[in-house]
């Protein structure tokens, strides 16, 4: 999530770096007059990666804006159908799959995880009979952040969910279960094991069968372990720093092994698809009204943000709240927010900055786009 929660670690590849001077006149694609949003997008991109884009609108219309480039040394603005790694936006899909099992009576939110995964959350101060499914979903399990992760790799260089969980539980509890919000990827890796145990299927297949295919999210995928590619058309992801008007970018290419994040952050999507997913979720197409209401029961985490079950509520300056999740992962920083009346904004930039992530600029951009569309 954000710095006010806990950012995903960046795994920096040893690749050739390029010194790039971006043109001062940003390029944009737009339908209609969205001058305020475009100005906010330019401000965001000036502190972010080589390129940035937003897909936004209301319940009936969408538009896209892009500045900079999705590939350095080229004039390729990021389009709403370009693929990128969505990082922790994956958590909302994982949570949705768990809550669908709740709807089916196969999982109970306030049941201890020990009931479903005997012996998995045990030792080093952990007791699976004291940590519930709800606490894992809401990051109140007491399991701390595991940043950077250091799981035992399989012989082929990939990682199993079991290895990720063992690595995460190698850190002692940060607090007693149910007492404190502490953002942790390990919570969602345990939930991945839960999904697999209940369904008997690989979690990537479950999310594909239950969410991606029914919503016809053709630009969305849960990569198999070992598949380090981003489908074309792809937004290139970079790691780097900004020094005045100069930018030192390292193309991360295929550096990320997606199975190191799995159900906490491995998925790939597009601006258009993540918007469609969040709208379907908040519109009641994926969960029953009662279970969606449970998902939206939040705890405050500061800065106008509160966290539910795999989804956050962001307070808007124009009133009300927008729901969604952000994602920070190798080469990308993104977030999608939707409101209950259908307004939406999904943003991406193609860099994981070494310092000074543009969090404030991103929220100003999202606020501007969502409040511009206020009825």
Catalytic residues: 88
DSSP 107-124: --TTSBGGGTSTTTSEET
Instruction: Give the start-end residues of each E strand in 227-373.
Output: 238-243, 246-251, 268-269, 299-302, 305-307, 312-315, 321-329, 332-338, 344-349, 351-353
Nearest to 331 by CA among 231, 224, 225, 250: 250
Decide if 328 contacts 357 (C-beta within 8 A): yes
| Spatial contact of 329 and 256, defined as CB atoms under 8 Å apart | yes
- Cβ atoms of 219 and 81 closer than 8 Å: yes
Q: How many CB atoms lie within 10 A of CB 76?
A: 19
Q: Is the dihedral of CA 74, 77, 81, 82 positive or negative?
A: positive
Give which of 35, 52, 34 is closest to 361, Cα–Cα: 52
Burial tier of 227 (Cβ tally within 10 Å: 0-12, 13-18, 19+): middle
CA distance 108 to 99: 9
SS3 305: strand
Residue 25: HSE in the Cβ half-sphere, 13 Å Cα cutoff: 0
The rounded Cα 64 to chain-centroid distance in angstroms is: 20
């Amino acid at each position: 999530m954000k710095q006010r929660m806990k950012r995903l670690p960046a795994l920096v590849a040893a690749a050739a770096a390029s010194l790039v001077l971006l043109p001062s006149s940003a390029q944009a694609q737009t339908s209609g007059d969205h001058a305020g949003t475009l100005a906010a997008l330019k401000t965001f991109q000036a502190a972010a990666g080589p390129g940035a884009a937003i897909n936004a609108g209301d319940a009936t219309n969408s538009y896209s804006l892009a500045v900079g480039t999705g590939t350095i040394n080229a004039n390729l603005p990021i389009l709403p159908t370009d693929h990128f790694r969505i990082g922790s936006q994956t958590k909302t899909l994982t949570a949705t799959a768990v809550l669908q099992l709740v709807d089916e009576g196969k999982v109970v939110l306030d049941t201890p995880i020990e009931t479903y995964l005997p012996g998995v959350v045990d030792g080093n101060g952990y007791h699976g009979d004291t940590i519930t499914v709800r606490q894992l979903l809401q990051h109140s399990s007491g399991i701390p952040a595991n940043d950077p992760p250091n799981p035992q790799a399989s012989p082929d260089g990939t990682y199993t969910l079991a290895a990720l969980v063992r690595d995460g539980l190698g850190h002692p509890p940060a607090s007693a279960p149910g007492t404190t919000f502490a953002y942790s990827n390990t919570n969602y890796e345990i939930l991945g094991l839960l999904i697999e145990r209940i369904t008997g299927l690989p979690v990537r297949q479950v999310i594909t069968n239950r969410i991606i295919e029914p919503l016809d999210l053709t630009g969305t995928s849960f990569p198999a372990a070992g598949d380090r590619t981003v489908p074309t058309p792809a937004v290139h992801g970079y790691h780097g720093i900004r020094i005045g008007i100069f930018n030192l970018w390292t193309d991360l290419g295929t550096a990320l092994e997606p199975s190191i994040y799995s159900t906490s952050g491995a998925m790939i999507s597009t601006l258009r698809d993540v918007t469609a997913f969040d709208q379907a979720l908040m519109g009641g197409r994926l969960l029953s009204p009662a279970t969606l209401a449970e998902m939206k029961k939040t705890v405050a985490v500061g800065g106008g943000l509160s966290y539910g079950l795999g989804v956050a509520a962001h307070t808007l300056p124009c009133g009300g709240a927008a729901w969604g999740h952000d994602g920070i992962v190798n080469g990308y920083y993104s977030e999608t927010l939707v409101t209950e009346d259908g307004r939406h904004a999904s943003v991406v930039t193609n860099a994981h900055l070494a310092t000074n992530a543009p969090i404030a600029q991103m929220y100003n951009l999202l606020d501007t786009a969502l409040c511009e569309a206020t009825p």
